[in-house]
């Protein structure tokens, strides 16, 4: 006994809160949408795609690479431009300008 506190009480006061914190952290982890599910989705350019930058799709920020559609001469997409996800390469989305 340490100063009137049993070893069991001391362990309960230190270990249980730690376990609780770990469980809460694991349950609250945000998982990104499956990359394949994003194909065909529309996104907005957050960081200019020259040719790589970032897009916001379904509320999540993704790295993206601009791919010019056949018949266009665009080499980049500016901030705020609407793009469409046409493919995925790892965690990099391949996008082209979206038709309005």
CA-based end-to-end distance of the chain: 74
Does position 62 have pLDDT exceeding 90, yes or no? yes
Does position 1 have pLDDT exceeding 50, yes or no? no
| Whole-number pLDDT of residue 60 | 93
Q: How many residues does the chain have?
A: 100
Decide if domain 35-97 falls under CATH 3.40.720.10: no
Q: What is the mean pLDDT of residues 69-92?
A: 84
Question: What is the average pLDDT score of the chain?
Answer: 81
Of 42-46, 69-73, 77-81, minimum mean pLDDT range: 69-73
For the chain, what is the largest distance between any 2 Cα atoms, rounded to a whole number of angstroms? 81
Which range, 25-29, 47-51, 65-69, is most confident? 47-51
* Domain locations in the chain as residue ranges: 1-30, 35-97
The pLDDT tens digits for 14-40 are 777 777 766 666 655 545 556 678 999
Contacts 24+ apart (CB under 8 A), 70-75: 72/97, 75/50, 75/51
Return the bridge partners of 92, or none. Answer: 63, 89
| Whole-number pLDDT of residue 49 | 94
How far, in whole angstroms, is CA 35 from its chain's centroid?
A: 10
How far, in whole angstroms, is CA 94 from its chain's centroid?
A: 15
Query: What CA–CA distance (Å, rounded) separates 17 from 59?
Result: 33
Record the pTM: 0.62
């Amino acid at each position: 006994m340490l100063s009137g506190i049993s070893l069991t009480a001391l362990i309960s006061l230190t270990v249980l809160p730690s376990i609780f914190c770990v469980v809460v952290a694991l349950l609250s982890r945000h998982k990104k949408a499956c990359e394949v599910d994003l194909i065909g989705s529309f996104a907005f350019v957050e960081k200019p795609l020259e040719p790589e930058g970032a897009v916001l799709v379904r509320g999540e920020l993704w790295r993206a690479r601009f791919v010019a559609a056949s018949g266009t001469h665009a080499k980049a997409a500016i901030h705020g431009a609407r793009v469409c996800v046409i493919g995925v390469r790892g965690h990099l989305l391949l996008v082209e300008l979206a038709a309005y």
